[in-house]
Amino acid sequence: MIKINLLDSVTERQGAASVAVEKKVSSRASRLLLMSIAVLLLFGAVVGWDFISTTRAKAEAERQRDEQKKKAAELEKVMKEQKELEDKIKNVDLRIEAIKKLRSTQAGPSAVLISLRERIGMTPDIYLESVEQKGDQLTIKGSSPNETSVTQFGRSLEFSSGLFSNLSIETQRKEIASVRASTDGADVPGDEVIEFTIRCSYTPENAGKNEEGTTASNQAPGNGADPQTNASTPKVAQKNDN
């Protein structure tokens, strides 16, 4: 009977194959090829990872950029609304200022005339010809048949609790031509009239401040003298009409 050892034949074939592979690997060209393939695979992996990470970083940067643009747009909108609101407030302030100026110009002359009318009512024989106001400066022109009334009118302005201040009065005597004749044909001397010009400051804002001090001085105990007699009288400059 013939016996065949199959195990030995298989082992021999495997050994021969291993020897062939070892020979191929051990050759220089084969080793270089394998190293090149390994390097290419490693390089491809690095490039792939870098591409993926760069793509992710780009996407994140674009997302942050879009968020910043959105915030900038919202901030620009808020700043625009704030500027519009500031412009509206400025326009309202300008209107209020214009209304205040208009009221002051409307109430100013009427208030001056009311104050003068009150003092003219307390002083007889005073006739006003003109009242001119430039800022807080007043120029009052008028006439009176006697100088006492002019002085009394000036004092009523001077002692006005600060409403009128820094008074200066100029007076000029003028003779009114007489239309009457005496029995012997000679003219009768005409009457005299006192023309006056008063310059003063009109400061209604100081009237309230000085009113308390004036009231206190009037009520303070003393020798019973009139406070107006102790105060300085308005400056009077006389001019004689020749």
Residue carrying structure tokens 């609101």? 85
List the one residue out of 194, 198, 196 whose CA is nearest residue 145: 194
Q: Parse the chain into domains and list their residue ranges.
A: 124-179+187-218+227-240
Structure-model confidence comparison of residues 193 and 224, the more confident one: 193
Helices (H), the chain: 6-26, 28-122, 147-158, 207-219, 227-230
- CA 113 vs. chain centroid, Å, equals 34
Query: End-to-end CA distance of the chain, in Å?
Result: 185
Model confidence over 220-235: pLDDT tens digits? 444 444 434 344 445 5
Q: Are 138 and 132 in contact (CB under 8 A)?
A: yes
Q: Are 145 and 193 in contact (CB under 8 A)?
A: yes
User: Residue 119: its pLDDT value, please?
Assistant: 86
Structure-model confidence comparison of residues 165 and 187, the more confident one: 165
User: Residue 218: its pLDDT value, please?
Assistant: 43
Q: How many residues does the chain have?
A: 242
Q: Are 163 and 202 in contact (CB under 8 A)?
A: yes
Residue 46 tokens, joined: 């690095």
**Bridge-based pairing state of the strands 164-175 and 235-240:** parallel
Query: With respect to CATH, is domain 124-179+187-218+227-240 assigned 3.30.1360?
Result: yes
Residue 179 tokens, joined: 């239309």
**Bridge-based pairing state of the strands 192-202 and 235-240:** unpaired
Q: Is the pTM of this model over 0.85?
A: no
DSSP annotation of 206: G
Structure-model confidence comparison of residues 37 and 229, the more confident one: 37
The amino acid sitting at 81 is E
Residue 39 tokens, joined: 């390097």
Strand partners, 139: 132, 199
Confidence grade of residue 124 (pLDDT, cut at 50, 70, 90): confident
Q: Are 234 and 169 in contact (CB under 8 A)?
A: yes
Structure-model confidence comparison of residues 192 and 126, the more confident one: 126
